[in-house]
Amino acid sequence: YEEDLPDVITVVQAREAGGVEVFESAEVPAPRPAEGQLLVKTAAAGVNFIETYQRSGVYAVEYPFVPGKEGTGTVLAVGDGVESFSIGQRVATTEAATGTYASHFLVDAAKAVAVPDEITDEQAAALPLQGVTAHYLINSTYKVAPGETVLTHAGAGGVGQILTQLLKARGARVITTTSSEEKAEIAQAAGADHVLGYDGFAEKVREITNGDGVSVVYDGVGKDTFQGSLESLAVRGMLVLFGGASGQVPPFDLQELNARGGLFVTRPAVQWYLRNAEERNWRFTELFAHLSSGDLKLNIGGTYPLAEAGRAQDDLENRRTTGKLILVP
């Protein structure tokens, strides 16, 4: 099969830290799978907020930098010792070993999952990172019980729509925020019980909960919402800060957690919740089951040619998107 492998692949890379103008398409030598790895021909790659932090320099990376850890496609070659996958099989991952903003990528077989036949390439590219995130947030960071009331922000976003659907499947009551009427309708269609604007949301959360506040807030907006999220919590509630779409939260006085009722704050990330094969299989098996049963629908908000990855990131950073963005080579 070696003859069928490409000599070069196409990638989109950031030359240096900066705005989306630092992206360029490039042809680079095709990688070959090392022991335990798969070479995958990309069918679709997921776009995620973290890649904007890496491009802009909020997170340290080495340039030129090919973003993307999420993708789906067909196995073109397998490295020595791979027994779990074969050539031609469809796989997806949120933990690629090389950037997925590319025509091909490498992934450790241990970090790839087989894509069931009934799942489309688009779904398989859209699910991993945002799906696993929603799954760990409500099962492992703070386990939401049926009947509980929860606040999540950016309810029309990629993670937001999945979170709401999984919370509704659990039987929770969902309060969420969005920045426009159009986005509010999308959040509602995902199942949110109450959709608020960002202005004074904490007060409205108190009203909805008869003064109690919510037991957990899932906050991926960060800088602009952090304070209001604290103010929305019930005694001993938990603020789960999982992102900073509006910017990073500045240093914070821990005494405020005492003053507001013995609160908890945590700052999780997906790699701390995919620690081994058992965790990975559990999360993906449940997510695929939610897709098959229909209680989870993935809303693809935009499909962009790979070469226009910069436009996708620009739309994401400037709040012009809803749902999931994917790149297609």
Q: Note whether 131 binds ligand NDP by CB under 6 A.
A: no
Beta pairing class for 324-328 and 37-47? antiparallel
Single-letter amino acid, residue 21: E
Least distance from ligand NDP to the Cβ atom of residue 184, Å: 8
Site for ligand NDP in 71-110 (CB under 6 A): none
Other C-beta atoms within 10 Å of 81: how many? 10
Choose the binding region for ligand NDP from 19-27, 29-37, 112-120, 158-166 (rule: CB under 6 A): 158-166
**The two structure tokens encoding residue 172:** 């929770």
How far apart CA 60 and CA 71 sit, in angstroms, is: 22
Q: Note whether 152 binds ligand NDP by CB under 6 A.
A: no
Choose the binding region for ligand NDP from 35-43, 95-103, 175-183, 199-207 (rule: CB under 6 A): 175-183
Site for ligand NDP in 276-305 (CB under 6 A): none
Least distance from ligand NDP to the Cβ atom of residue 4, Å: 35
Q: Find out whether 304 and 320 touch, Cβ atoms under 8 Å.
A: no
Could you say which of 11, 125, 129, 196 contacts ligand NDP (CB under 6 A)?
A: 129
With contacts defined by CB under 6 A, how many residues of the chain interact with ligand NDP? 30
Nearer to ligand NDP, 32 or 143 (CB): 143
Rounded alpha-carbon distances, angstroms, from residue 265 to 37, 122, 134, 220, 272: 37, 34, 17, 13, 16
Question: What x/- string results for residues 259 through 278 when contact with ligand NDP is judged by CB under 6 A?
Answer: ---------xxx--------
Least distance from ligand NDP to the Cβ atom of residue 170, Å: 19
How far apart CA 152 and CA 302 sit, in angstroms, is: 22
Rounded alpha-carbon distances, angstroms, from residue 183 to 23, 75, 158, 214: 29, 37, 12, 23
Nearer to ligand NDP, 69 or 104 (CB): 69
Nearer to ligand NDP, 82 or 245 (CB): 245
Site for ligand NDP in 11-50 (CB under 6 A): 48-50
CB-side neighbour CA atoms (13 Å) of 89: 18
Other C-beta atoms within 10 Å of 49: how many? 20
Site for ligand NDP in 177-236 (CB under 6 A): 178-179, 183, 220-221, 224
Other C-beta atoms within 10 Å of 58: how many? 13
Choose the binding region for ligand NDP from 31-39, 116-124, 129-137, 253-261 (rule: CB under 6 A): 129-137
CB-side neighbour CA atoms (13 Å) of 165: 24
Q: What is the contact surface with ligand NDP in residues (CB under 6 A)?
A: 48-50, 129-130, 133, 154, 156-160, 178-179, 183, 220-221, 224, 242-246, 268-270, 316-317, 319, 321
